[in-house]
Chains A and B, each alone.
Chain A
Amino acid sequence: MKNDYLWDGSGEPDPELQRIEKSLAQFRYRGEMPDFPVANFLPSKPSHFAFFTSGWTPRFAAATLLLLALTASGLLLRLAPVELSNTQVWDVARLSGAPRVGNFSLASDSSKAQLRVGQLMVTDNSSRASLNVAAVGEIYVDPDSRVRLVESGSNRSRLALELGTIHAAIWASPGEFVVDTPSASAVDLGCAYTLHVNEDGSGMLRTTLGWVGFHSDGHDSFIPAGAMSTTRPVQGPGTPYFEDASGQLRSALHAFDFESLSAADRQQALRVILAQARRRDAFTLWHLLFRVNDEERRLLYDRLASLVPPPAGVTREGTLALNSPMMDAWWNAFDLGDISVWRFWEQKQAPPLLKKAAR
């Protein structure tokens, strides 16, 4: 069968596919294996958090080695329950103070625990802790925080940040790691970021590397490195902006997103946003296109097109109608991340019947 050749090379060879194979085989990897340094064979931990804090790495590495020793001697069983199922569990390590996992308190440097689905980890005002899964990434939990493990599968992990601050460095595939907050969900798209939740459920997300999707019903914000977005209960994520945007732009955006403005004040806020936007702020205007009325959208289109011309195939009419492929193509022109990654994630969230129909 012809199609089998594409799958496993069996069956009747397809001359067209053979030609492609011959043509592309010139790019095949032919390098030699390097001589890996012996030092690299010593276990250590990733250093993604060097920019968040310093001085903890040696202690963390020592704690990890100690954990291995404790595991080997069986002593760990006395300290915390060990997850034996195939579900990925999150290792909890104390960084300072006495963070709690369920009823278990990690009061000493050697204390370790595992966070299981449904369990809550709490830090008081003097506690800090780290959460780690080798295949997913590492989370640092600041003082006064509450983090619950909602889901932990082979390709899906979900935390809920109920209060406080976490710093995440994720190396799982984009879309596999999600953090819920009371007003929006942060979807990792290959990145490092800080997420904060206030007592009233409002919050903030600041991206350090890569980009993050901030998702709530009807509102999505894509936040590239160097940018941030605030979020409010009910209203969801606000329009994201680069942290080096002008104060005027940031104030106007805040008013536009979260305040009940009169028509005149809203017009004035938009005028300030358009005037203050730099080329770099084009992605902010792109987000606003989805959040304005028709008249405002025309003004936004003109300013956005002057900053970053629409790519081939993207028309004014299509943009004003929020044509999805055109909006996606324009986003990709900003070179801040391939939006198809986000679309894949969205598709995965759809109920099975919807997914089937979409195919």
Chain B
Amino acid sequence: MAISVEARFEPLEWPSVSPTASKDTGDEPLVKAAQGGDRAAFGQLYQRYVRMVHGILLARVPSAAAEDLVHDVFLQALPKLAALRDVSRFGPWLAAIARNRATDFHRRTKSDCSLDDQAGAAEAPQNPERGIGIEDGIALLSAVRELPDVYREPLILRFVEGMTGPEIAARTGLTHGSVRVNLHRGMHLLREKWERHAPHAEKEQGL
């Protein structure tokens, strides 16, 4: 039963943000320059953080909407940037804006919105080399999205966006311990969920 499985794992200190976790990102000069109106600096921040923003959104909204909302998040952040006092916390600050933008998306499209990405399946590319089908990816993404926020976000950043655990911690401001524990617990839950809901796929994919 899905309820009992998820109830067994209490997420670790969510959202446990380390004041020092974001100090080594090297973002400070860029943030300060962007605060002063330097568009190139903001462009570099965009390149550094666009995967994090997309991953956070993708954990909460359909993939087509996530693509659109990425720009919204940066557009929303831009005019507020000057008010950001602690420039070393740009990542956590931007992550909070992305999470709230996703919440706002659901509020605005409440009745007819789900995380079902079937409609967008035709647009998703296939990986011919390994023979991994679109359906497998969609089913996996759905399974990840059924996990609690604390697990789905790091798993999506890890598997979809290709970020490593230390990168996730640095970008989001979470502690290494939190990210690592939630990655492993999330992976454990994902395996259980996958085995329960897709026994055939499990055999085919060996998950």
Which residues of A are interface residues toward B (Cβ below 8 A)?
A: 3, 6-9, 15-17, 19-29, 31, 33-34, 36, 38, 40-46, 64, 86, 88, 132-135, 154-155, 171-176, 190, 209-210, 225, 313-314, 324-326, 328-329, 335, 338, 340-341, 343-344, 347-348, 355, 358-359
Contact for A29 among B3, B10, B42, B50, CB less than 8 A: B50
Q: Are A27 and B124 in contact (CB under 8 A)?
A: yes
Question: Hey, which chain B residues are within 8 Å of A42, CB to CB?
Answer: 37, 79
Q: How far is the CA of A17 from the CA of B15 in the complex (A)?
A: 25
Residue of B nearest to A211 (CB): B103
Question: Hey, which chain B residues are within 8 Å of A34, CB to CB?
Answer: 71, 74
Contact for B161 among A29, A190, A340, CB less than 8 A: A29
Contact for A329 among B3, B35, B54, B83, CB less than 8 A: B3
Q: How far is the CA of A42 from the CA of B93 in the complex (A)?
A: 19
B160 at the interface (CB under 8 A from A): yes
Residue of B nearest to A83 (CB): B85
Q: Are A86 and B39 in contact (CB under 8 A)?
A: no
Q: Are A16 and B206 in contact (CB under 8 A)?
A: yes
Question: Hey, which chain A residues are within 8 Å of B86, CB to CB?
Answer: 86, 88, 135, 154
7 closest Cβ contacts across the A-B interface? A43-B82, A29-B54, A325-B3, A155-B17, A134-B83, A7-B165, A40-B78
Question: Hey, which chain B residues are within 8 Å of A338, CB to CB?
Answer: 148-149
Given contacts A135-B89, A347-B10, contact A340 B149 (CB under 8 A): yes
Contact for B132 among A23, A29, A173, A209, CB less than 8 A: A23
Question: Hey, which chain A residues are within 8 Å of B136, CB to CB?
Answer: 23
Q: How far is the CA of A58 from the CA of B206 in the complex (A)?
A: 60
Question: Hey, which chain B residues are within 8 Å of A171, CB to CB?
Answer: 96-97, 100
Contacts beyond the supplied A23-B205, A135-B85, A190-B103: 19 A-B pairs with Cβ under 8 Å: A7-B164, A20-B159, A22-B127, A23-B140, A24-B144, A24-B159, A27-B160, A31-B71, A41-B37, A42-B79, A43-B83, A86-B19, A88-B85, A134-B83, A314-B3, A335-B110, A344-B11, A344-B148, A347-B13
Question: Hey, which chain A residues are within 8 Å of B54, CB to CB?
Answer: 28-29
Q: List 9 A-B contacts (CB under 8 A).
A: A23-B205, A26-B126, A28-B51, A42-B79, A46-B80, A173-B96, A210-B107, A325-B6, A359-B12
Question: Hey, which chain A residues are within 8 Å of B32, CB to CB?
Answer: none
Q: Are B140 and A25 in contact (CB under 8 A)?
A: no
Residue of A nearest to B78 (CB): A40
**B54, B67, B96, B126 pick with most chain A CB within 10 angstroms:** B96
Q: Are B127 and A26 in contact (CB under 8 A)?
A: yes
Given contacts A26-B134, A36-B75, A154-B17, contact A134 B63 (CB under 8 A): no
Question: Hey, which chain B residues are within 8 Å of A225, CB to CB?
Answer: 107
Tell me the dominant secondary structure on chain B's binding face.
helix
Q: How far is the CA of A328 from the CA of B19 in the complex (A)?
A: 32
Q: Are B96 and A172 in contact (CB under 8 A)?
A: yes
Given contacts A22-B130, A42-B79, A341-B149, contact A7 B15 (CB under 8 A): no
**A21, A41, A86, A359 pick with most chain B CB within 10 angstroms:** A41
B7 at the interface (CB under 8 A from A): yes
Q: Are B79 and A44 in contact (CB under 8 A)?
A: yes
**A25, A42, A347 pick with most chain B CB within 10 angstroms:** A25
B207 at the interface (CB under 8 A from A): yes
Question: Hey, which chain B residues are within 8 Å of A27, CB to CB?
Answer: 58, 63, 124, 137, 141, 160
Residue of B nearest to A20 (CB): B159
B26 at the interface (CB under 8 A from A): no
Residue of A nearest to B19 (CB): A154
Given contacts A16-B206, A41-B37, A173-B15, contact A134 B84 (CB under 8 A): yes
Q: How far is the CA of A258 from the CA of B109 in the complex (A)?
A: 36
Q: Are B89 and A154 in contact (CB under 8 A)?
A: yes
Question: Hey, which chain B residues are within 8 Å of A328, CB to CB?
Answer: 3
Question: Hey, which chain A residues are within 8 Å of B61, CB to CB?
Answer: none
Q: Are A340 and B42 in contact (CB under 8 A)?
A: no
Contact for A134 among B80, B134, B137, CB less than 8 A: B80
Taking the closest CB of chain B, its distance from the CB of A43, in whole angstroms, is 3
**B2, B82, B97 pick with most chain A CB within 10 angstroms:** B82
Taking the closest CB of chain B, its distance from the CB of A8, in whole angstroms, is 4
Question: Hey, which chain B residues are within 8 Å of A359, CB to CB?
Answer: 10, 12
Question: Hey, which chain A residues are within 8 Å of B80, CB to CB?
Answer: 44-46, 134
Q: Are A29 and B99 in contact (CB under 8 A)?
A: no
Question: Hey, which chain B residues are within 8 Å of A343, CB to CB?
Answer: 10
Given contacts A43-B82, A45-B83, contact A7 B183 (CB under 8 A): yes
Contact flags B1-39 to A (C-beta < 8 A → 1, else 0): 111101100111111110100000000000000010101
Question: Hey, which chain B residues are within 8 Å of A134, CB to CB?
Answer: 80, 83-85, 93
